Structure 1
Amino acid sequence: MSTKRLKIAILWHMHQPDYRDPTNGRTLLPWTWLHAVKDYGEMLETVAECQAPVTINLVPTLLEQLDRYRRGVDADSWLELARKDAAELALPERIFLLEQFFSVNDQRHLLPHPRYRQLRQKRGRDPVASAPDFSAQELRDLQVWFLLSWTGYHLRKREPLIGQLLRRGDMFTEAEKADVFNICNAEVTRIIDRHAELEAAGLIEISLTPYAHPILPLLCELRRASEPSPGISLPLADFHYPEDARLQIREGVRTGNQLLGERTRGIWPAEGAVSEDAIRLLAEEKVLWAASDEGILARSLPNGLTDRRALYQVYSYAGLPLVFRDREISDKIGFLYADWPAKEAVADIIRQLKAIKNTVPEGLVPIILDGENCWERYVDNGYPFLQQLYRALLDDPAFDLCTIGQAVADSQPQPLEKLAAGSWIRSDFTTWIGHPEENRGWELLATARHACLTDQVARALKTPELPINEQLRELLRAEGSDWFWWFGDEHQTTQANIFDRLFRSHLEGLYHLSGLPTPPNLQHPIKPPRAQIRSCEPAERFTPRIDGQVGDYFEWLAAGEIDLAAAGAMHAIQQGPSRLFYGYDETSLYLRVDEVKLLKQLCTEWGYFEIHLHGRRNLCLRWQPQKNLLELFSQEEKLGEGRAVAGNILELEIPLKLLVLTPNDELRLFCCCVQQGRSAGRWPGEGDAPLIYRGALLDEENWII
């Protein structure tokens, strides 16, 4: 009987940038606190319950924020409004709550709860106009629901009050709100110590990212971006500061050791971004190991990954051990399995791992992904999936679940002659450089660094035993990748203006601490102000010919349009439909999708394409390509059928009487493909798109004399 075991090393990456405005000390966004309530401790409790050795990667700026919350010295604008007596909220505060306190996953945390859903329906599309109509009780219920929706499986199980309030649903009191807040705050307070406790017990390995989550290769040499992307548009200013990259590494390690305990650790470079220069620095700083994506390995090996067995081993460059993540398994956990039954998702992973073991019996499969954002889309915050995954890996004698450090210690790394430059996104750097907004950010950063710092970085590197000053810390924070993530057109968020402001505030801090006047151009946003992205409504009511063909040019000219390709904070891995056109007449709602061939490929032979509509009730339009059948469901109850024709395009007709719509109804929409009962992609990738039904009012509004 074979005793060979396939090593499985899982790394969960926990990351939030520093949301504190250096000009006034106030924290502008609450995501660190909220993820601490819902994810950081929750992940540890499932690990402890299962006794599953994993690697937890922590970004030092995240640790600093957790420490400030722990010490009670963080002035968080959102949390102050969450705690404030609802009867004392001023009108601007009411508007803010109505704008921001529905920032949860609709499918898991809003739609299943009638009171939360009712509050958003009352808010409608205009928080400013609706704010005066909300009672203190309604606003208090909203405050509590926002907090409740950010609690996880273990906290709900451990704290009876959370479960009681979730079941009751409304008429919350100020005392109950204070109790919920205190429960959540206690969870946040224990996070750092719980990590240190499990690491000391040998159950987890904690790795770090350089201090402010910078793209190390770009700090070393900005023009390195041209290596994977020849011809990319680069900033006018040069940026070549490997000493900054070294300081980011050192300060990251120092921060981790101060808050977690002294030890040598591995490094997950921000965004898996590596280059030969960056890895040499990590090797010189004597970290244990580093990791990146399989796309980087494919570009580093002479023959690429034509033989995937080459992926499943430890490599080294400049003497530093390197591992490269299995992209397919990692991304399926991050983007696909949320809508699968946990048992089937775990079985799919085990099937893939068994296939790998057949080719490399004693290989290493690194599974590396974001450890905080995807769980909001999973049942019970991912607990059933994670618990079953850990159990399956621990109970199967074919596998050895281990930390990355353990896997590296048991290996004989194979040296790489070269290491390609790139990140885990498209194996390049185009997410953070190349767009005019991103390039403008780099130019402002380069100008500020040149004006404000002379030899301070060099002095700090020569005296590593001394803490760095606040001026240098502002530089490191400004060099973080998160500001550049939201510049450009690739990612969208309603809080992009806050990220823009925080980046420029760190640069302002550099000038202020240097005794220099702040350049006027830092007062102007890098990202042009833009209205909230909305769907384009139909120009008038119309009746297309449902024949699956583009037909006459004017047939769909008046249609509304919904952008299904809009990206959120996480990258979708599944190609899908880009746009959905819609319109209606007196009797029917009409929908059109152009990528018919792609939809059929995604649905496979007996799958189906679904369009979900959430309004007064939750509706699902289900098109089965094999039968060309369109059915309408509500809570799995079939309401009736519509008409579907797929040719060059897919055209759908749904009787309005089945939808029960009234003029000015706003529906929230998303689409997905389903294969054998499992989701095979969702569009938009995050959130829902608005679909507005005006009815006969549409013709009245557009009537011209």
Structure 2
Amino acid sequence: GKQAGRLHSGSWIGGNFDIWIGDPEENQGWSWIKRTRDFLLREEEKGNLSPEVKAAAWEDLYAAEGSDWFWWYGPDFQTDSDLIFDGLFRGRLQNVYRRLGVTPPAGLSVPICSAEVRLGVAPTRPIEPRLGEAPSFLDWAGAGRYEAWRDQGAMAQGDRRVKNIYYGYGKRDFYFRLDSKEMVGDEVIVDFQLPTAVRLRMIRHGEGWRAQLEKSKDGVVYEQAECVVEVVEGKGLQVRVPFSSLGWGVEGGEVSFLVRVQRGGSEVERYPERGLIEFSGPVRALDMKNWYI
């Protein structure tokens, strides 16, 4: 018989795959599938997985690869259940990691469907706060603020302790402050998704805190990196970390992150529960446009 040199796309809509790939949400979904598949293949090559675990992990991955999920991503079709489908899709991918005894990447807890976060304000100007027992209002004026106490997601029904999250940047450093009504927990994790995948961990150590920085090329596998981080616990947990440690430039770029709190080895709070805290910066020109007298 003859050999076909080229096969046309077999889609029943328009003869192409536009419904399932090409829009930002769709591309993000496929990107997570590839990252998760690559992770599973790497672990499989080590030869340590039992047949049962391997089969279950592949079943979850194959389920996530079904095209029906991508029918609902992007602008072509919408439903009131978009976020439900989104959560089920990401849940399948998260299961791949959990079955192998690995904590799923933080990015998989963030909805792929558009989920704009508006519980606060973005930074309005650079800041250079002094970290100490009682943070100065003026020192933190101009910082971004996420009002965690207003986040009424499902996790808010538990023992929620975080009140506000402040964040901003100076000439060379990123600043972060977490205010809570009591001891927040054993570990606070700031998971940066942009401009690079970086995980900043503040771990309770005796009566104080120690900081640990981890970097990743794919948002899945993280490796500990050298860092110089200042952590102070006073009225809130206050952190200063140089741009150089985070791998940031000193001008421009989009930044997005989420904050996770752990107590007793389990994640008990996450902010935002849906979406990411996002802002633009550092931008030197911003200070010229916002004069304070």
TM-score by length of 2: 0.60
Give the SS at the match of 1:593.
Answer: strand
Give the Cα–Cα distance (whole angstroms) in 1 for the partners of residues 61 and 195 of structure 2: 28
Deviation at 1:670, TM superposition (A): 0.8
Deviation at 1:542, TM superposition (A): 2.2
Number of paired residues? 229
Q: Does 1:691 align with 2:279?
A: yes
**1:678 and 1:155, CA in 2 relative to 1: closer, same or farther beyond 3 A?**
closer
Q: Corresponding residue for 1:543?
A: 128
CA RMSD of aligned residues (A): 4.5
Q: Does 1:562 align with 2:141?
A: no
Q: Corresponding residue for 2:194?
A: 615
Q: Corresponding residue for 2:47?
A: none
Give the Cα–Cα distance (whole angstroms) in 2 for the partners of residues 608 and 640 of structure 1: 18
**1:376 and 1:636, CA in 2 relative to 1: closer, same or farther beyond 3 A?**
farther
Q: How does 1:208-219 map to 2 (within 5 A)?
A: none
Deviation at 1:567, TM superposition (A): 4.7
Amino acid at match of 1:561: R
Q: How does 1:348-387 map to 2 (within 5 A)?
A: 375-376=88-89, 378=91, 380-382=93-95
Contact 2:131 2:238 in 1 (8 A): yes
Residues 585-630 of structure 1 deviation map (CA, whole Å, 9 limit, x = unaligned): 212211111116241xxx2xxx311111122421111112333222
**1:643 and 1:381, CA in 2 relative to 1: closer, same or farther beyond 3 A?**
closer
**1:664 and 1:674, CA in 2 relative to 1: closer, same or farther beyond 3 A?**
same
Residues 467-501 of structure 1 deviation map (CA, whole Å, 9 limit, x = unaligned): xxxxxxxxxxxxxxxxxxxxxxxxxx858xxxxxx
Higher strand share: 2
Q: 1:584 aligns with which of 166, 169, 178?
A: 169
**1:666 and 1:109, CA in 2 relative to 1: closer, same or farther beyond 3 A?**
farther
Q: Corresponding residue for 1:142?
A: none
**1:582 and 1:532, CA in 2 relative to 1: closer, same or farther beyond 3 A?**
closer
Q: Corresponding residue for 2:180?
A: 595
Deviation at 1:82, TM superposition (A): 1.5
Give the Cα–Cα distance (whole angstroms) in 2 for the partners of residues 692 and 685 of structure 1: 21
Deviation at 1:562, TM superposition (A): 2.6
**1:577 and 1:155, CA in 2 relative to 1: closer, same or farther beyond 3 A?**
closer
Deviation at 1:81, TM superposition (A): 4.5
Contact 1:632 1:641 in 2 (8 A): no
Q: Does 1:647 align with 2:251?
A: no
Deviation at 1:638, TM superposition (A): 2.5
Q: How does 1:190-205 map to 2 (within 5 A)?
A: none
Q: Does 1:154 align with 2:59?
A: yes
Q: Does 1:659 align with 2:240?
A: no
Residues 79-113 of structure 1 deviation map (CA, whole Å, 9 limit, x = unaligned): 984159x7xxxxxxxxxx34x5467599x669879
Contact 1:534 1:689 in 2 (8 A): no
Amino acid at match of 2:237: L
Give the SS at the match of 1:614.
Answer: strand
**1:641 and 1:387, CA in 2 relative to 1: closer, same or farther beyond 3 A?**
closer
Contact 1:537 1:559 in 2 (8 A): yes
Give the Cα–Cα distance (whole angstroms) in 1 for the partners of residues 264 and 232 of structure 2: 23
Q: How does 1:397-408 map to 2 (within 5 A)?
A: none
Q: Corresponding residue for 1:498?
A: none
**1:541 and 1:154, CA in 2 relative to 1: closer, same or farther beyond 3 A?**
same
Residues 477-530 of structure 1 deviation map (CA, whole Å, 9 limit, x = unaligned): xxxxxxxxxxxxxxxx858xxxxxxxxxxxxxxxxxxxxxxxxxxxxxxxxxxx
Give the SS at the match of 1:533.
Answer: coil
Q: Corresponding residue for 1:571?
A: 154
Residues 534-575 of structure 1 deviation map (CA, whole Å, 9 limit, x = unaligned): 862322222111103133x3221221113445658x611441
Contact 2:123 2:279 in 1 (8 A): no
TM-score by length of 1: 0.28
Give the SS at the match of 2:288.
Answer: helix
Q: Corresponding residue for 2:74?
A: none
**1:636 and 1:543, CA in 2 relative to 1: closer, same or farther beyond 3 A?**
same
**1:701 and 1:649, CA in 2 relative to 1: closer, same or farther beyond 3 A?**
same
Amino acid at match of 1:571: A
Q: Corresponding residue for 2:19?
A: 82
Q: How does 1:43-58 map to 2 (within 5 A)?
A: none
* Paired-residue identity, %: 14
Q: How does 1:261-300 map to 2 (within 5 A)?
A: none
Unaligned runs of 5+ in 2: 1-11, 39-56, 72-83, 102-112, 216-221
Which is higher, the Rg of structure 1 or of structure 2? 1
Give the SS at the match of 1:597.
Answer: coil
